[in-house]
Amino acid sequence: MRRLIFLLFLAAAAWCAYVVLAPAGPGEETFVEIVPGTPTMQIAAQLKRHGLIRSQFAFEAERLAKGGTLKAGEYRFDHPTPMSEVYERLERGDVYTIPITIPEGSNLFDIAERMESANFGTRENFLAAAHASVSLIADLDPGAASLEGYLFPDTYRFERHVTPVQVLAAMVKRFRQEAARLGINGNYHHLVTVASLVERETPIDSERPLVASVFENRLAKNMPLETDPSVIYAALLEGRYRGTIYASDLQADSPYNTYRFPGLPPGPICNPGAASLKAALHPARTEYLYFVAASANPSGKSLFSTTLEEHARDVQQYRKALRTAGTH
């Protein structure tokens, strides 16, 4: 009898070890969605139904033995896994996410295309949400027509079924964190709009405060900013941008056309990074009123000047550099 009991004990121990330690699960990609508030036994039933564990009772026993809280979310399994590892993943909250990087200077159209390419919904739905969700920044920029400028460039990780509003909220949250770190606490509309222009004019961090100073100096003198990126943005908004600026673009009757209308455009033209926000917050003290942007100059640096005569000289230098580079 004792021998029989011992054999039964060994068999039970072997079965438990097999259930807990032997890998189980499909050989192909499988997703399991755990809804918030789901009881452990229901989670175990889901896992067993997908063939990820052999016994839901053993899974419950694992919970009783280890304790901890199982996290909601979507989990991805693509190879057989021991039940103990499945449990640990749910306890860690190792949910499946997809990374997406938003470069500095991306505008809403750029971000919408990236989201669509990453299978996070359509471009149109993202753009619509970016205009409909301005309440996310109502305390920062009450008159904003969209979230342009307030979607901080960064690498994000989102679950597969994330909504456009959830994406936008995460990006605005990052903007708020960065704004707090930089010490921004007032007139967001002006500062972010200037920062967006700076972002599009030069990729060189050391030049950004100088570019910001040119814009502020021109604003103080009520001079048109005459910045090409805002003209491009006007064309993008109207669906007529053709990859370069034409004479007709410079004559366009758009408030974003800073060649025709003095002052800042109605709002940001892209989403600036930390360096441009910092430059707009602390522009250099200069008397510069003109510059040839680094983004267009083969020399790789911007040319700053105080007078129109100096600017004309810089433009000639810029054109010479173009010819030398074989651009024209």
**DSSP for 282-305?**
S-------EEE-GGG-TTSS-EEE
Q: Per residue in 250-275, pLDDT tens?
A: 999 999 999 999 999 999 999 999 99
* pTM of the predicted model as reported, rounded to 2 decimal places: 0.84
Nearest 5 degrees, angle CA 74-CA 80-CA 86? 45
User: Is 147 within 8 Å of 189 (Cβ atoms)?
Assistant: no
Q: Per residue in 43-68, pLDDT tens?
A: 999 999 999 999 999 999 988 888 88
* pLDDT score of 137: 98
User: Is 297 within 8 Å of 288 (Cβ atoms)?
Assistant: no
Which tokens in the block code for residue 300? 């790789």
Q: Does 1.20.58 match the CATH number of domain 98-182?
A: no
* pLDDT score of 7: 42
Burial level of 243, CB count in 10 A (0-12/13-18/19+)? Answer: exposed
Residue 87 has pLDDT above 90, yes or no: yes
Residue with tokens 């009123």: 289
Nearest to 120 by CA among 164, 76, 150: 164
Strands annotated E in 168-310: 290-292, 303-305
Residue 144 has pLDDT above 80, yes or no: yes
User: Is 26 within 8 Å of 51 (Cβ atoms)?
Assistant: yes
Query: SS3 letters for 48-83?
Result: HHCCCCCCHHHHHHHHHHHCCCCCCEEEEECCCECH
* pLDDT score of 10: 44
Contacts of 322 (CB under 8 A, 6+ apart): 298, 328
* pLDDT score of 299: 56
User: Is 77 within 8 Å of 94 (Cβ atoms)?
Assistant: no
Q: Per residue in 303-317, pLDDT tens?
A: 899 998 888 887 887
Which tokens in the block code for residue 20? 């807990």
Instruction: For domain 17-92, give its CATH number from 3.50.30.30, 3.30.110.40, 3.40.50.300, 3.30.1490.480.
Output: 3.30.1490.480
Nearest to 196 by CA among 149, 251, 242: 149
User: Is 80 within 8 Å of 25 (Cβ atoms)?
Assistant: yes
| CA dist., res. 151 & res. 170, Å (int) | 8
